[in-house]
């Protein structure tokens, strides 16, 4: 199995096992196990949504070239977005950064698992059902480095 296929399988498992989701979809463009573009959407039980994109290359090893993880509330208002778009050179962690409603913060490189853990933490607090993050720990998609 190629690195890309392994990554996609792990990603699918991560999302399938996710608590509090009411809907999800993935659009995958795998170009010859060399270039991978993923676009996804997850709607959670409180009607908040996570929209995400990853652009990866598998030469010589699987690397994430670009990403965006956009989380919004039921009114489509931004809660946070992580990305590595090169539009905030003043940020110490450029190009990696985190958008909040009224500001942009430095950010370390994040993965979809990191973002999902933040979302689940928020939903867990909102639902009062205890800490569900442990369910995600063993489902990190393997075999990807983030170009940074």
The per-residue pLDDT for range 28-42, each reduced to its tens digit, is 999 999 999 999 999
Q: What is the pLDDT of residue 71?
A: 98
DSSP assignments along 89-147, one per residue: TTSTTTT-EEE-SS-EEE-----HHHHHHHHHHHHHHHHT----GGGTGGGPPPS-EE-
Pick from 112-116, 133-137, 142-146 the range whose average pLDDT is largest: 112-116
55 three-class SS: strand
Can you give the pTM of this predicted structure?
A: 0.84
Q: Where residue 2 falls among pLDDT bands split at 50, 70, 90?
A: confident
């Amino acid at each position: 199995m190629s690195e890309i296929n392994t990554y996609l399988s792990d990603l699918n498992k991560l999302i399938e096992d996710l608590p509090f989701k009411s809907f999800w979809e993935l659009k995958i463009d795998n170009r010859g196990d060399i270039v991978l573009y993923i676009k996804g959407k997850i709607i959670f039980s409180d009607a908040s949504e996570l929209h995400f994109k990853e652009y990866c290359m598998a030469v010589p090893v699987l690397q994430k070239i670009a990403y965006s993880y956009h989380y919004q509330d039921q009114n489509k208002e931004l809660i946070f977005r992580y990305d590595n778009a090169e539009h905030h050179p003043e940020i110490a962690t450029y190009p990696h950064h985190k958008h909040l409603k009224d500001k942009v913060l430095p950010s370390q490189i994040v993965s979809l698992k990191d973002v999902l853990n933040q979302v689940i933490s928020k939903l867990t607090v909102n639902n009062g059902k205890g800490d569900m993050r442990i369910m995600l720990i063993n489902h990190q998609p393997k075999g990807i480095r983030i170009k940074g």
